[in-house]
Amino acid sequence: MWDRRARATSTYPPTSHAECSGNLPAPWRVVPHTSSKDTNIMTETAFAVVDLPEIATPPPVFVGETDFDRLSALADMAAVEPGTAAAFLAAELDRATVVADDELPADVVAMHRQLRYRAEDGADQQAILVFPRQADIASNRVSVLTPVGAALLGLRAGASIAWRDRTGRVRHLTVTGVGN
């Protein structure tokens, strides 16, 4: 399978879906990204294939080098089963554009940055994305190892994403602002 760390080599990403599908255990397969709402997008991670919500194309994700290294180690240590928040985090890291820390745009959700987002019910939320041990819902400190935390990582202000909550329900959110 393709490893997140392989992106530095000239063989990453795979040039075709057939190229990476051969390495996947049955019944998983990689399918092309489409705009059909009837097609689930499948994304290969370093551990498994993750069934992502029905979305045409997920928004771009940007992550600074330091966060990428720390979060990759965290995802590697977590028990990654398809459908878990850790698997979703690994999938988001796999598709992330990694940039130097000082080149990460100020409007990108990163670790320890304050952010605002609008949930699908229209409620405006404030949060700070943190590592699991720093999480505290009462203080709006959201762990990156929760489904909503993994969904928020790397999004720019104005970006929307669909994600699955712990019950498997598809949710949507839009990042409305990011600050230090």
Pick the CATH number of 4-179 from 3.40.50.720, 3.40.50.740, 3.30.360.10, 3.10.50.30: 3.10.50.30
Q: Tell me what the mean pLDDT of segment 134-156 comes to.
A: 95
Please state, as a whole number, how many other Cβ atoms lie within 10 Å of the Cβ of residue 76.
16
Give pLDDT, residue 57. Answer: 79
Containing 51, the helix (H) or strand (E) segment is: strand 49-52
Which tokens belong to 151?
């969904």
**Under 8 Å between Cβ of 127 and 179:** no
* Amino acid sitting at position 173: L
Q: How far is CA 152 from the centre of its chain?
A: 7
Give pLDDT, residue 86. Answer: 87
Q: Specify the higher pLDDT residue, 111 or 33.
A: 111
Give the burial class of 70: count Cβ atoms within 10 A of its Cβ; 0-12 exposed, 13-18 middle, 19 or more buried. middle
pLDDT tens, residue by residue, 27-64: 233 333 332 333 333 333 322 334 444 545 789 999 99
Give pLDDT, residue 39. Answer: 32
Containing 91, the helix (H) or strand (E) segment is: helix 85-95
Is residue 128 over pLDDT 50?
Answer: yes
CA distance linking residue 104 with residue 95, whole number of Å: 16
pLDDT tens, residue by residue, 168-179: 889 999 999 998
How many angstroms separate the first and last alpha carbons of the chain? 36
| Helix, coil or strand: residue 17 | helix
CA distance linking residue 95 with residue 126, whole number of Å: 25
pLDDT tens, residue by residue, 71-90: 999 988 776 667 788 888 99
Is residue 130 over pLDDT 80?
Answer: yes
Give pLDDT, residue 84. Answer: 81
Which tokens belong to 91?
């999938």
Q: How far is CA 169 from the centre of its chain?
A: 17
> Tell me, what DSSP letter sits at residue 136?
B
Among candidate residues 56, 52, 51, 53, the one with its CA nearest the CA of residue 36: 56
Give pLDDT, residue 79. Answer: 62
Note the pTM of the prediction, 2 decimals. Answer: 0.69
Which tokens belong to 95?
């598709």
